[in-house]
Amino acid sequence: MYKIFDEFSDLPITNQQRYDLRHPNYMKEWKLNHPNYDKKYDKTHREQRNANKRIYRLRHPKIEKAHNLAKYHIPLGKMCQFGNCDATKNLNRCHLDYDYPLLVITMCQYHHNLIDRLYREND
């Protein structure tokens, strides 16, 4: 396993991150109790979502290019490479630097979101 995230171990943790660590299954339970929410939202807001995607792609061409290169040229790993996590489901490719689009790390959705939040807070 890679131990590349040691730089984040000393960072202060936010209240949202504390809540996420204490209640990791909150969204799963909420979605089970509201099974049609996403479908209804998608139907009523499809045009707005598509417009937002187009705007994002135009504003961030380097990120879009990195995502496409990684998607088509780098196979997804078998398990999360974050610390001691051994998740094998909901895996993503995580770019730590978009200047190197083929340098990606396989991470589970939870740790990918955690790293993205930490990077945004420290920028």
Evaluate whether residue 6 is within a structural domain: no
The model's pLDDT over 15-74, given as tens digits with 9 standing for 90+, comes to: 666 676 667 777 778 778 877 777 777 778 888 888 999 999 999 999 999 999 998 998
Give 95-120 pLDDT, tens digit per residue: 888 899 889 999 988 888 888 888 77
- Please give the C-alpha separations between residue 84 and each of 80, 87, 99, in angstroms, as whole numbers: 9, 9, 27
Q: Into how many domains does the chain fold?
A: 1
d(CA 107, CA 52): 26
- Confirm whether 7 is domain-assigned: no
Q: Is residue 1 part of a domain?
A: no
Q: Is residue 85 part of a domain?
A: yes
What is the reported pTM? 0.60
DSSP state for residue 105 in the 8-state scheme: E
Residue 57 pLDDT: 92
